Amino acid sequence: MRRLVVEVAPGEYTVLRLPAGTPPPVALFTDAPGLVSVVSAPDGLTVVCPTDLALEADPREDGWRLLSVRGPLDFALTGIMAAIAGELAAAGVSLFAVSTYDTDHVLVKAADLDRAVAALREAGHEIG
């Protein structure tokens, strides 16, 4: 696996689910200082956003930290998410994955951030 540059974003993130058919709040797209992901599926609308913009929802998981692979990454590249997931799994760190057009992101619980960073460094990746 090639060496990746992984950046740790400031602040905490929230992952939440809204009922299917719920329109995403416009403020998420106009006020967000960081990554916002909204995925609509038959089981509901999944939102990942900075915690200070998160809506009250049930279920809702606070306390995530965002790690992003510096991109852009070519679509022909393989194994990037598998490598990161494997390295974190070996360190006992669970993750929530999000991909964008240009790169891959993983969220880890804030309590696991130091272990996640150490595991990625040990695997030869640069932490930016």
Owning domain of residue 102 = 5-127
> Which among 73, 83, 97, 82 is positioned nearest to 13, based on CA atoms?
97
Band (76; pLDDT cuts 50, 70, 90): low
Task: Using alpha carbons, list the distances in angstroms from residue 71 to 21, 61, 99, 104.
Answer: 32, 27, 11, 8
Q: Above 80 in pLDDT, residue 20? A: yes
105/1: higher pLDDT? 105
Give me the mean pLDDT over the 13-34 stretch.
88
Q: Above 80 in pLDDT, residue 31? A: no
Whichever domain contains 32, its CATH number is 3.30.2130.10
Q: Above 70 in pLDDT, residue 1? A: no
Give me the mean pLDDT over the 88-96 stretch.
97
89/74: higher pLDDT? 89
pLDDT in tens, 54-71: 989 999 999 999 999 878
Q: Where do we find the tokens 């930290």? A: 65
What's the number of domains the chain is made of? 1
Band (30; pLDDT cuts 50, 70, 90): confident
Average pLDDT, the chain: 91
CA–CA distance, 4 with 57 (Å, rounded to integer) = 35
81/63: higher pLDDT? 63
